[in-house]
Amino acid sequence: TSLNANVLKLTEPAKDLLPDVDVFIFDCDGVIWRGDSVIEGIPETLEKLRALGKKMYFVTNNSTKSRKGYKKKFDSLGLDVPAEEIFSSSFAAAAYLEQTNFKESGKKVYVVGEIGIQEELDLIGVPHFGGPEDGGKQPDMGPGGALPHDSDVGAVIVGFDRNINYYKIQYAQLCINENPGCEFIATNTDAVTHLTDAQEWAGNGSMVGAIKGCTGQEPTVVGKPSPLMIDYLCSKLGLDKGRICMVGDRLDTDILFGTDNGLKSLLVLSGVTTEEKLLSQENTITPDYYADSIVDFFVDENA
């Protein structure tokens, strides 16, 4: 179709990109998989890139799983990816606490979120509570009712939480508003997410928005587009930003993460962004390149 011809034409310069890139950072949902299905041709494409000597890292804003949880997901999809190459926003939240020496404060974390955040906090030995355990609770709102809270909570982490409720919101509010110096950390602020193919679902932006609304505080965001993960990768692994290409399907997280941080960027249309949206006048975030999917992009020129 003419649309496809147009896409191929516009990605033509991308062939010149490979020699200039040592490292690919891949967003996960919409690039590698959609929900629980691997995108067709991805295993072969990753193998091809590895054979070319390219390094790759996988960065997802979805905080519901830990790095270990994602390793299992990659395995189940037939993708042979070491855990060290996977960076989830749950891991980023723990990495941020490590970077700021939170453990030495002797304080605890209150979690609005799911098991991924809890598993990452366990790995760094930071005490925490909340999460799924508070899923069925309601505060006492009868006459004289008050919700007691722990004055030793030094940080509230807010991640995607399918069991968020009024108890958790009030608990987070009390910690952030009443504990001096308590940090408000958001794993990510994605507005909507494709939990199913049928429609868009409220993303972690809605959970973070609830806590912003009652505290008036702005969170420290650790997921994309925050520079935290790229700084972590570059400092721990000695990567050169100028030779990294960020590949993602979302303009306001992935592509912004690339353009804000001095990386090359490639938008793929295999996820949430349509070509119409990318090229529309309202869009102000422009990737260096775009393609239907990375499978098309890294097409075998001899095939």
Judged by the rule CB under 6 A, the positions of this chain that interact with ligand PLP are 27-30, 60-62, 64, 160, 188, 190, 193, 195, 203-204
Q: Binds 203, which of Ca ion, ligand PLP, none (CB < 5 to 8 A, cut-off by type)?
A: ligand PLP
Q: Closest approach of Cβ 221 to ligand PLP, in Å?
A: 13
- Our CB check for ligand PLP shows the closer of 150 and 260 to be 260
Tell which residue, 121, 20, 60, has the closest CA to residue 254: 60
Tokens 């011809």 — which residue?
5
3-state helix, strand, coil in the chain (%, to 5): 40, 20, 40
* Residue 150 or 252 having the CB closest to ligand PLP: 252
Measured from the CB atom, the residue of 23 and 153 that comes closer to ligand PLP is 23
Stretch touching Ca ion by CB under 5 A, among 23-31, 62-70, 116-124, 141-149: 23-31
Candidates 28-36, 46-54, 65-73, 127-135: pick the segment binding Ca ion (CB under 5 A). 28-36
Q: Judged by CB under 5 A, which of 74, 249, 258, 269 binds Ca ion?
A: 249
Q: How many whole angstroms separate alpha carbon 247 and alpha carbon 50?
A: 16
State how far the alpha carbon of 36 is from the alpha carbons of 7, 123, 145, 240, 243, in Å.
27, 26, 44, 32, 31
> Nearest approach, Cβ of 30 to ligand PLP (angstroms)?
5
Task: Give the helix ranges, DSSP H, for the chain.
Answer: 2-11, 42-51, 67-76, 89-99, 115-123, 166-178, 204-215, 228-237, 256-260, 275-279, 294-297
State the minimum distance, in angstroms, from the CB of residue 101 to ligand PLP: 28
- Among the listed ranges 30-38, 49-57, 67-75, 228-236, the one in contact with Ca ion (CB under 5 A) is 30-38
Euclidean distance between CA atoms 203 and 35, whole angstroms: 14
Among 14, 23, 29, 160, binds Ca ion (CB under 5 A): 29
Cβ-based neighbour number of residue 151 at 10 Å:
13
Q: Smallest Cα–Cα separation from 245: which of 65, 14, 51? A: 14
Binding-site partner at residue 61 among ligand PLP, Ca ion, none, CB < 5 to 8 Å by type? ligand PLP
Q: CB of 62: closest distance to ligand PLP in angstroms?
A: 4
